[in-house]
């Protein structure tokens, strides 16, 4: 898989020299390329709506989504297969990752960032990463810490849930290895690239529960396991998984194990070590009341800028068109790049192109801002693959070649469009 990854990166680097693509950008190369874009999906073996990478790529192709960004947790081996398949369909790949960090002072202050249930807990993404094939020693060290902490937590949580179910007369026989085997069977992947997430655990226990408990007894038995009435459709697999998480796995519940997160500085440094652009995933009205870190939008802009974050991302499926428009416009006017994705981190196989809550269309002017953001990240990837400074430098500061944020974004948009356009011509798309 390492060879596939390197081939993928070499292929993108080989689209041309920086000078050639800069000239193409100056001449308007790629200006007519306005594909549908999605900057954030999760591919298996991350918990995902997709059974396989091939399914994700095929659906993106069928739905005419021309730029797709992957933001997996913990492991990047799957990116090689993704690019190999995406190339056949003329889909431009953006590489990323997602990390969870803890900011102690905001924990103590009770400030909710972009996790509505846990003050001080921040999800942060890296966009346009290019140094994940051969990581630096610092990147390896931080990644090992993240993987070890999370694996230990998942093993403990699985053990607790197994005892809870067993005490209610449902002996699932599940342990860490059995949950990994479930993931391997579902996605036909190598076991050594599997890192268990909470949703995997809930799915494993739901499947074992359905296998062991007759349909007519499930509601009562779930009530016994939860220590109260089961409030969901006990025959619906996804709803039962969600109830297992909320009743047993969240903070204060019997199956909860305290998270051991890296701090913000470690997460930020990992993104830079991987050659990426730090990006803040925004909830906005995806939760009500809105998180204190994000409301009002002017406060959000101030907060992210103070942490040297110059890119934000939305998952519009959480947002109303009105709030999405208000936030995106304000953020973009503040000289920040904005992206849009879907995550696909549940079993719901929604369309690949982002839409707002209840399927409402993303306003066209907001789609254009998302397309601009995708072009900026494509340019960043291209430049860093050639050993040049991308949208941000190795310390996270904006590229110093440009006087203003608008000048920088405009230049990167043009270069990224040329890169995507050249990629399409290379593949005959």
The CA–CA distances, whole Å, from 102 to 113, 266, 271, 390 equal 10, 10, 15, 27
DSSP string, 103-131: -HHHHHHT---S-TTSTTEEEEEEES---
Regarding whether 6 and 120 lie in a shared domain, the answer is: yes
| Coil/strand/helix, residue 427 | coil
Strands (E), 103-257: 121-127
Contact 341, 38 (CB under 8 A): yes
Regarding whether 244 and 156 lie in a shared domain, the answer is: yes
301 domain-assigned: yes
Regarding whether 113 and 6 lie in a shared domain, the answer is: yes
424 domain-assigned: no
Q: pLDDT band at 29, cuts 50/70/90? A: confident
293 domain-assigned: yes
Spatial CA neighbour of 172 closest among 197, 199, 209, 222: 209
Using CA atoms, how far apart are residues 428 and 371, in angstroms rounded to an integer?
21
Contact 51, 45 (CB under 8 A): no
Contact 385, 133 (CB under 8 A): no
Tell me the pLDDT tens digit for each residue of 336-358. 999 999 999 999 999 999 999 99
Q: pLDDT band at 426, cuts 50/70/90? A: low
310 domain-assigned: yes
Other C-beta atoms closer than 10 Å to the C-beta of 311 total 26
Using CA atoms, how far apart are residues 128 and 56, in angstroms rounded to an integer?
20
What was the pLDDT predicted at 346?
A: 92
Task: Inform me whether the pLDDT recorded for 116 exceeds 80.
Answer: yes
Regarding whether 181 and 57 lie in a shared domain, the answer is: no
Regarding whether 126 and 199 lie in a shared domain, the answer is: no
Task: Inform me whether the pLDDT recorded for 60 exceeds 70.
Answer: yes
Q: Is the dihedral of CA 246, 125, 303, 298 positive or negative?
A: negative
Spatial CA neighbour of 22 closest among 418, 424, 421: 418
What was the pLDDT predicted at 287?
A: 96
Task: Inform me whether the pLDDT recorded for 16 exceeds 80.
Answer: yes
Q: pLDDT band at 33, cuts 50/70/90? A: low
292 domain-assigned: yes
Using CA atoms, how far apart are residues 43 and 345, in angstroms rounded to an integer?
8
What was the pLDDT predicted at 74?
A: 86
Regarding whether 233 and 216 lie in a shared domain, the answer is: yes
Using CA atoms, how far apart are residues 193 and 272, in angstroms rounded to an integer?
23
Regarding whether 149 and 62 lie in a shared domain, the answer is: no
Residue 45 φ then ψ, to 5°: -90, 5
DSSP string, 163-178: HHHHHTT------HHH
Average pLDDT over residues 188-213: 96
Average pLDDT over residues 20-49: 89
Q: What is the CA radius of gyration of the chain?
A: 22
Q: What is the pTM of this model?
A: 0.94
Spatial CA neighbour of 43 closest among 12, 8, 85, 6: 85
What was the pLDDT predicted at 412?
A: 97
Domain end (from 355, 374, 393): 374
Task: Inform me whether the pLDDT recorded for 322 exceeds 80.
Answer: yes
Task: Inform me whether the pLDDT recorded for 206 exceeds 50.
Answer: yes
Contact 123, 115 (CB under 8 A): yes
Looking at the structure of the chain, the number of domains it has is 2
The single residue listed with the structure tokens 């909470």 is 198
Quote the domain boundaries for residue 316.
Answer: 2-10+34-135+274-374
Domain end (from 214, 249, 284): 249
397 domain-assigned: no
CATH number for the domain that contains residue 325: 3.20.20.140
Regarding whether 158 and 244 lie in a shared domain, the answer is: yes
Regarding whether 104 and 65 lie in a shared domain, the answer is: yes
Regarding whether 225 and 348 lie in a shared domain, the answer is: no
Regarding whether 158 and 235 lie in a shared domain, the answer is: yes
Using CA atoms, how far apart are residues 238 and 214, in angstroms rounded to an integer?
17
Using CA atoms, how far apart are residues 99 and 270, in angstroms rounded to an integer?
9
356 domain-assigned: yes
Q: pLDDT band at 428, cuts 50/70/90? A: very low
Task: Inform me whether the pLDDT recorded for 31 exceeds 80.
Answer: no
What was the pLDDT predicted at 321?
A: 98
Task: Inform me whether the pLDDT recorded for 424 exceeds 90.
Answer: no
Task: Inform me whether the pLDDT recorded for 119 exceeds 70.
Answer: yes
Regarding whether 213 and 279 lie in a shared domain, the answer is: no
97 domain-assigned: yes
Average pLDDT over residues 65-69: 97
The CA–CA distances, whole Å, from 163 to 159, 243, 367, 429 equal 6, 17, 48, 54
Residue 29, CB-side half-sphere exposure with 13 Å CA sphere: 20
Using CA atoms, how far apart are residues 30 and 64, in angstroms rounded to an integer?
17
């Amino acid at each position: 898989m390492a060879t596939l990854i390197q081939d993928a990166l070499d292929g993108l680097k080989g689209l041309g020299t920086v000078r050639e693509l800069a000239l193409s950008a100056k001449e308007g190369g790629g200006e007519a390329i306005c594909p549908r874009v999605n900057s954030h999906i999760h591919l298996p073996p991350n918990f995902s709506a997709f059974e396989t990478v091939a399914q994700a790529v095929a659906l993106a192709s069928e739905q005419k989504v021309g730029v797709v960004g992957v933001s997996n947790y913990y492991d990047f081996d799957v990116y090689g297969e993704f690019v190999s398949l995406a190339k056949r369909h003329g889909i431009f790949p953006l590489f990323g990752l997602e990390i969870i960090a803890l900011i102690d002072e905001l924990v103590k202050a009770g400030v909710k960032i972009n996790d509505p249930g846990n003050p001080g807990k921040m999800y942060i993404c890296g966009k346009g990463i290019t140094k994940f094939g051969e990581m630096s020693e610092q990147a390896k060290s931080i990644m090992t810490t993240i993987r070890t902490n999370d694996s230990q937590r998942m093993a403990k949580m699985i053990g607790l849930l197994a005892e809870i179910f067993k005490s209610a007369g449902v002996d699932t026989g599940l342990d860490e290895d059995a949950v990994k085997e479930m993931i391997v069977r579902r996605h036909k992947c190598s076991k050594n690239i599997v890192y268990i997430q909470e949703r995997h655990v809930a799915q494993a226990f739901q499947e074992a529960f359905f296998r062991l408990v007759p349909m007519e007894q499930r509601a009562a038995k779930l009530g016994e396991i939860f220590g109260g009435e089961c409030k969901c459709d006990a025959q619906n697999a996804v709803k039962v998984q969600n109830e297992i998480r909320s009743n047993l796995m969240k903070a204060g519940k019997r199956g909860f194990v305290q998270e051991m997160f890296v701090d913000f500085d470690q997460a930020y440094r990992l993104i830079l070590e991987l050659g990426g652009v730090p990006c803040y995933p925004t909830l906005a009205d995806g939760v009500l009341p809105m998180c204190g870190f994000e409301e009002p939008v002017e406060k959000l802009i101030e907060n992210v800028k103070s942490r040297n974050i110059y890119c934000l991302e939305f998952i519009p499926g959480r947002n109303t068109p009105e709030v999405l428009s208000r936030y995106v416009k304000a953020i973009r006017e503040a000289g920040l790049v904005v992206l849009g994705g879907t995550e696909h981190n549940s079993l719901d196989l929604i369309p690949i192109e982002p839409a707002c809550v209840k399927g409402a269309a993303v306003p066209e002017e907001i789609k254009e801002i998302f397309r601009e953001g995708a072009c900026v990240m494509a340019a960043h990837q291209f430049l860093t693959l050639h050993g040049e400074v991308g949208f941000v430098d190795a310390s996270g500061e904006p590229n110093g070649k440009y006087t203003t944020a608008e000048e920088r974004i405009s230049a990167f948009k043009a270069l990224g469009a040329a890169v995507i356009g050249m990629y399409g011509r290379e593949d005959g798309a």
